[in-house]
Amino acid sequence: MKEYIKEPNGTDFIYHNGKLCCINEVTLDGNHFIHWYKDGKLHNLNGPAVEFELFNGHKEWWRNGKRHRINGPAIEFSTGEKFWYWHGKPCSRHEYQLICNNRIDLNKYMLIAFCVITWAMAIAIIKRLIFPMVLSLVMNLNF
């Protein structure tokens, strides 16, 4: 359920299921600010989470409370300055491009690591428990 609260100064607060999801503020001097939130953190997957028309179009992309953008700089100033961030960590444009071009599906690699660890544990169990038992059985057999 969405709830809209309009302050006397013209600021709109939009809540979704009791949680703040947007602040839309127009100041007395006509500047416009928009902030998008999810679970109390700056977040917007569909565009910048922070927009300031005060600075003639300053924009910031946030995801889960951290500056982050998967298709460009996370901060764009009206002056043309741009800053790249990956999950809250600043990086150069070159570093950003390397990250995006070589993005690793961490879930896939975590699954592989889990399988390797599971096999290593199984081998250790075989070596410590089963191998000595089999060896003792073989030694006790009369051929």
Q: Which amino acid is at 47?
A: G
Handedness of CA 64, 68, 72, 74 (dihedral sign): positive
pLDDT at residue 82, as a whole number: 93
Is the whole model's pTM more than 0.85, yes or no?
A: no
**Tally of CA atoms within 13 A in the half-sphere of 105 that contains its CB:** 4
pLDDT at residue 126, as a whole number: 73
pLDDT at residue 73, as a whole number: 92
Q: pLDDT of 33-73, one tens digit each?
A: 788 888 778 888 777 888 776 556 788 888 888 888 888 89
Per-residue model confidence as pLDDT tens for the chain (143 residues) = 778 788 776 778 888 888 877 777 766 566 677 888 887 788 887 778 887 765 567 888 888 888 888 888 999 988 889 999 988 999 888 888 887 776 655 555 666 777 778 887 877 777 777 777 777 777 776 65
pLDDT at residue 83, as a whole number: 93
pLDDT at residue 111, as a whole number: 66
**Rounded-to-integer distance, Cα 26 and Cα 45, Å:** 23
pLDDT at residue 46, as a whole number: 77
The CA-CA-CA angle for residues 25, 14, 67, to 5°, reads: 70
